[in-house]
Amino acid sequence: MAKDVVSDRNLALESVRVTESAALAAYNFMGGGDEKAVDQAAVSAMHRTLNRLALDGTVRIGEGAEGEAEKLYVGETLGTGDGPKVDIALVALEGTTIVARGGPNALAVIAMAEDGGFLTVPNIYMDKIAVGPGLPDGIVDLDNEPADNLAALADAKGTKVTDLVVCMLDRPRHAELIAKIRETGARIRLIQDGDVSGVIAATQPEAGVDIFLGIGGAPQGVLAAAALRGVGGQMQGRLVFRNNEQRTEAQRLGIEDLERKYATEDMASGNVTFAATGVTYSDMLEGVRHVPGGAITHSMVLRSTTGTLRFIEGHHDFIRGTAKT
């Protein structure tokens, strides 16, 4: 078996170890109301586990800029330095507020790609649209009216617009978009947080979501694109700027066309590995479950080279310390 194939497979499994560690750490504070403690636990655990891996990694999408975040900041080098050179995109905990309140849909997420594989974006908003695999290219477009996108999607799926389910973040900024969707008769599933999980849900038939729409985090948009590279589907995103300071920061990161509409491979290119572990229950992943002497985790891992999606159930023995590896 070729060495690069073995390395790719090892990297996929190691990625799951990273997200498992963050999920287990965050779950210890689930429902306690302390968002800071939840976030710090996930970040510290992910940072510690990444630094144990045999790789030469650079954070491209992280917890913030250097100086803003103590760990997992953009530009930080991670790993032992002995293994493959990779770019890293991560959200140690998508849904900090969710976990603190004990709600659903929280994930620990990481993606790895070849050097230069991820679009580097500032921590701002991104307008997004995403659908699952098996549809004609360009079936939906970020610049189309919601009614046009939903009509085209329904036609491609051989169903009615009124049978479609649109997933989006429950935010005041989406009031006009929600009104337009309701005018079409389509159904809406509003989520409190977690637009990475929302985009992935649109690719999984069992999740009951047909399309993801709306404005969420730009870093989460890159991670969602990484997931779609593995599972299939289509996504477009455009950065949303609220002030000139954000525009300046984007230009500093090398973004020249501030109005550009990015496709999936513009945001995550080359050989991409994506992994996520459920912290709390979602349509796709079970949350962490404590059992006597340990815990059970449920994760997913995707590889763009094969298009394979695997679900992994991890049984962690706290007595023997396997949860710390």
φ, ψ at 249 (rounded to 5°): -65, -40
Closest-CA residue to 112 (of 186, 176, 60): 60
User: What does the alpha-carbon distance between residue 206 and residue 87 come to, in Å, rounded to a whole number?
Assistant: 31
pLDDT in tens, 26-81: 999 999 999 999 999 999 999 999 999 999 999 999 998 888 889 999 999 999 99
Q: Are residues 259 and 276 in the same domain?
A: no
- Point out the domain boundary residue: 227, 250, 267: 267
Instruction: Write down the pLDDT at residue 2.
Output: 39
Instruction: Write down the pLDDT at residue 68.
Output: 86
- Point out the domain boundary residue: 267, 297, 315: 267
Q: Are residues 172 and 233 in the same domain?
A: yes
Which structural domain, as residue segments, surrounds residue 227? 125-267
The token duo for 280 is: 């709390």
CATH number at residue 19: 3.30.540.10
321 pLDDT exceeds 90? no
148 pLDDT exceeds 90? yes
Give the chain's domain count.
2
pLDDT in tens, 290-304: 999 999 999 999 999
- Region 102-108: mean pLDDT is 93
pTM: 0.91
Q: Are residues 51 and 129 in the same domain?
A: no
Q: Are residues 147 and 256 in the same domain?
A: yes
Closest-CA residue to 192 (of 220, 222, 167): 167
* Cβ-defined contacts of 189-192 (< 8 Å, 24+): 189/165, 191/105, 191/167, 192/97, 192/98, 192/103, 192/105
Mean pLDDT of the chain: 93
User: What does the alpha-carbon distance between residue 246 and residue 240 come to, in Å, rounded to a whole number?
Assistant: 9
Largest CA distance in the chain: 57
CATH number at residue 257: 3.40.190.90
Q: Are residues 257 and 151 in the same domain?
A: yes
